[in-house]
Structure 1
């Protein structure tokens, strides 16, 4: 497995986007809506795919809107994501489509955005409903049912388990709603099967951290049968640890269906993953924003498809 380090090119991209965000809209751009896509880490292939899908959609609809794509350095860089939101508001964008790195921490900044007249659409990771309501933030959610998707992916594993088999979970960022829901979905499937959950640890969506956790799990639990990972980047880290330990009987389940995981599905190193169609997820949010900007009533939350991918 090849692990590509965070590159200077990516750093330059983030920096250039930050400078772009500080510039006011041009007069030429005032005639059509300007939409800002604010994602999590562009070092994660899932968000690279999301970015590409959004850029392709914008390129095919240049007469309808213009798009600014922003991302942060890593999954937990909340300060940078807050800065990006503030930059987009200062620029005067018409809408922000955001995949928040944290389900609560972004809410005050997003409320300030809506107070400034910016439409906010929440994608991928749902904002905390109670906290949003208390803050007076109305941001429609467009995205998958992560709990159902994780349960469906884990069910491919549970068909091969016996009651009492030992399984571990590597979850994402514990304060992220989608991470919480994926963990719960895994737990739903495992509890129904009678499997024993021996450990739940946070990998923060990161390959390297998941690799370290998986290596420790394999040492601590010699009878471990499987590791369920809340995204495919962490599944890649778990697979590397399993290969290094010579424990190829340990099965892995992921979530996202990134391209790097697909050969591992084919050869059995990963048993299953959940495809939430990352190339279209931002597009769904952008289309919802454009419809509202065009005068349509703000829609109720929209649940998008999740499909299980296995050999």
Structure 2
């Protein structure tokens, strides 16, 4: 008599049940892990400033145990909205965002809030309060005044100069320009002969600078709303044999640091992009765990002047100790 037949079916069922339970447990674990996701959305990483933001946020999030979804909106508000839809669909626990427009972004951040996903803004503000949990931005006005004071000093308080302005829809462009002029305009012998937007672009700044220089060959200085435009302007000036023109930027990039150290661009203003992104992630983590950041929504971080005396301390939008 065989005893195998009566026990075969229950034993196989037991094995199948155990296997299924294991699969479900593994699946539940992966689902839980996938749910601990932070989405990081910035403008193009072609600009080292935004690349540093993404890297700072991503590394800090991973160190805190999160998965990351790093996305780029290229300053396109429609694309930004689609990427926020992606973050919502993926069940992100939080969104770290350097936004694509102070007005155009409000609805997208509200959409995330309605989906119970908090947003933590860096670098650029939006024109609404109570929609994002945090808006952590550089003190652009303070930084612009530092840059302008250095520019005035380098110019010897006189001469014709050009201003290159960032993207007009970006609040920072206007704030920096105001900070510059609230200092420079107090010196009547400093005369602005051209003011044009180069939309934060190095290529566009090169082209604009070529045209401005042809129309105004007697310029003595260029003050720029960011380092990328400063690099474009300096390249155009160098190509024209005008390395005597004083150029000052804003951001604190490694590229401008190297130019300062080699006697090219004269100064920039460091805004701590990397640390700003880290702080946003840290506040997101605290909010996820406790429901509060313990901070006010609007938070300003002071900027630092970078010139020939301090450039050696600069590395990836941060100052070495």
Normalised by the shorter chain, which TM-score bucket?
0.7 to 0.9
Matches within 5 A, 1:69-108: 69-72=70-73, 74=74, 76-108=75-107
Q: Deviations over 1:8-28 (max 9, x none)?
A: xxxxxxxxxxxxxxxxx9513
Q: Which residue does 2:216 correspond to in 1?
A: 221
Q: CA deviation at 1:154?
A: 2.0
Q: Which residue of 2 aligns with 1:22?
A: none
Q: 1:185 aligns with which of 139, 156, 179?
A: 179
Report whether the alignment pairs 1:169 with 2:143.
no
Q: Does 1:56 align with 2:59?
A: yes
Q: CA offset at residue 162 of structure 1?
A: 4.6
Aligned residues: 277
Q: Where in structure 1 are there 5+ consecutive unaligned residues?
A: 1-24
Change (3 A) 1:26 1:305: farther
Q: Distance in 1 between the 2:231 and 2:285 partners? A: 36
| 2:271 match | 276
Give yes or no for the alignment of 1:27 onto 2:31. yes
Give the alignment partner of residue 246 of structure 2, picking from 241, 248, 251.
251
After TM superposition, what 4+ stretches of structure 1 lie above 3 angstroms from structure 2? Answer: none
Structure 1 position 44 matched with structure 2 position 47: yes
- Residues 290, 272 of structure 1: alpha-carbon distance in 2 compared, 3 angstrom cutoff: same
Could you list the runs of 5+ residues in structure 2 that have no partner in the other structure?
A: 1-28, 309-321
Give the counterpart of 2:255 among 257, 260, 267. 260
Quick check: 1:162–1:193 contact (8 Å CA) kept in 2? no
1:196 aligns with 191
- Tell me what 2:204 maps to: 209
For 1:98 and 1:54, how far apart are their aligned partners in 2? 10
* 1:37–1:69 CA contact under 8 A, matched in 2: yes
> Are 1:218 and 1:224, in contact at CA under 8 Å, matched by a contact in 2?
yes
Specify the structure having the higher radius of gyration (Cα).
Answer: 2
Change (3 A) 1:188 1:36: same
User: Is contact 1:54–1:283 with CA below 8 Å preserved after alignment?
Assistant: yes
Taking the aligned partners of 2:31 and 2:170, their CA distance within structure 1 comes to: 38
SS in 2 for 1:37: strand
Partners of 2:34 and 2:67 within 8 A in 1: no
Aligned equivalent of 1:14: none
Pick one of 288, 293, 303 that aligns with 2:300.
303
Q: Distance in 1 between matches of 2:138 and 2:280?
A: 12
TM-fit CA distance, 1:164:
5.0
Report the 3-state secondary structure (helix = DSSP H, G, I; strand = E; otherwise coil) of the residue aligned with 1:67: strand
Q: Which residue of 1 aligns with 2:314?
A: none
- Counterpart contact for 1:190–1:196, Cα < 8 Å: no
Q: Is the 8 A contact 1:37 1:282 kept in 2?
A: no
User: CA offsets per residue over residues 129-161 of structure 1, 9 Å max, x none?
Assistant: xxx25xx62442112111111120121110133
1:115 aligns with 2:114: yes
